[in-house]
Amino acid sequence: MKILTFNLSAMLLPALLCCCGAAAGAQEIPAYWIKVAPAGEAFTVMMPSTPSAKDESRQVDGLHVSGQRYRVKDTGDAVYTIWSFRADSVPSDVQQDREAYLDLCAELTWDMLVRSDHKARMTYGRDLPSASHPGRNYLFNIGKRRGAAQIYIAESRIYIVTALGEADEVPHPEIFMKSFSPGAQGSQEADPSTGGGGVGPGRGGNSGNDSSDGGSVKAGEPKSDGMIDYTQPFSASALTQKARIISKPEPLYTEAARKFAVSGTISMRLILMASGEVGGITIIKRLPHGLTQKAIEAAKQTKFEPAMKDGRLVSQYVQMEYNFNIY
């Protein structure tokens, strides 16, 4: 049977980085691979054989976890591993913040796989777009070993899924990564650190750093009596004179983002208010490890001359982008 391989230097390909739970698609599943669904676990995954299981517990920056490590070695010294951890204790400042919780899970993964080797690297790839089981993809370079990891949070569970090899190629990573499914949301017991309700680890959608546009009147939309509501923000096309940006401070790059070599673009929608202040920030595209918050802080420091409509100072919707690169 033909062995499917791919170069780990190209691991940012969409095929590898797609969301969990997707079928393995057009990739041919090797005949000897089996579906793994350990007793007492909610996840399922395709692996080369029945994995060995080992109890493990870890802690980093106030996060305490315990659970099982499932591991299989395959051809070419490839190693496929799944850590299924229960979050026994989570810092209170990240319990309601999904992005901060994923940041902390990345620190846990770094501590497990990278910390002991000062030449090792763990690089952020991208977020995995799942509303029920949010996650991220990271790439590794650990000595001669190269590979990828996907991190998921699901209720009180943390899953770390890795494929590592001794060479530049590892067989079947797409099948392994894409076949992993954390299981149905709510299948695990309630998290005691959150009192069994509300937005705990892995729950909720926003990071808590974003403001809201608010209001129900669309930009430039007349009121029911046909009069223009000049207190509402306007789109650029409806203005007599657009707002003029005087200064746009650049956001700072965080040490955590440098540690994980994060690069990319943050996009946001905001309101340049008639009062000369910035408000109504809504994040369209974010980046992890503190960069989104730094972009928000920078946006709030924007200096501008307010827009005008019919001789009046008014508020205007605008979209801003901030680029982050490693030099």
pLDDT digits (tens, 9 = 90+) for 23-70: 444 568 889 999 999 999 999 999 999 999 999 999 999 999 999 999
Percent of the chain clearing pLDDT 70 (strictly above): 76
Indicate if 188 and 249 belong to the same structural domain.
no
CA distance 270 to 306: 13
Residues 6+ apart with CB under 8 A from 139: 8, 11, 12, 121, 122, 123, 125, 146, 147, 148, 149
Whether the pLDDT of residue 169 is over 90: the answer is no
Lowest mean per-residue pLDDT among 19-28, 192-201, 215-224, 291-300: 192-201
β-pair type (135-142, 145-154): antiparallel
Residues 144 and 259 occupy one common structural domain: no
What integer pLDDT is reported at residue 75 of this predicted model? Answer: 77
Identify whether 160 is part of a domain.
yes
The domain that holds 297 is classified in CATH as 3.30.2420.10
Flag the least confident range among 35-44, 101-110, 179-188: 179-188
Q: H or E stretch including 154?
A: strand 145-154
Q: Which two tokens stand for residue 152?
A: 């998921």
Out of 162, 194, 226, a domain closes at 194
Among 194, 223, 248, residue at a domain's last position: 194
pLDDT digits over 268-324, tens only? 999 999 999 999 999 999 999 999 999 999 999 999 999 999 999 999 999 999 999
The neighbour count for residue 292, using CB atoms within 10 Å, is 21
Is residue 202 included in any domain, yes or no? Answer: no
pTM for this prediction: 0.79
Domain with 40 in it = 5-194
Are the CB atoms for 271 and 317 separated by under 8 Å? yes
Domain CATH number, residue 188: 3.40.1000
What is the separation of C-alpha 34 from the centre of its chain, rounded to a whole number of angstroms?
29
Within-domain flag for 69? yes
The domain boundary residue, chosen from 173, 194, 215: 194
In a domain, 219, yes or no: no
Based on the fold, state whether residues 47 and 163 are members of the same structural domain: yes
More confident residue, 327 or 203: 327
Average pLDDT of span 165-191? 67
Provide the pLDDT for residue 23.
40
DSSP lists the bridge partners of residue 149 as 138, 162
What total number of domains does the chain contain?
Answer: 2
| Residue 241, domain member (yes or no) | yes
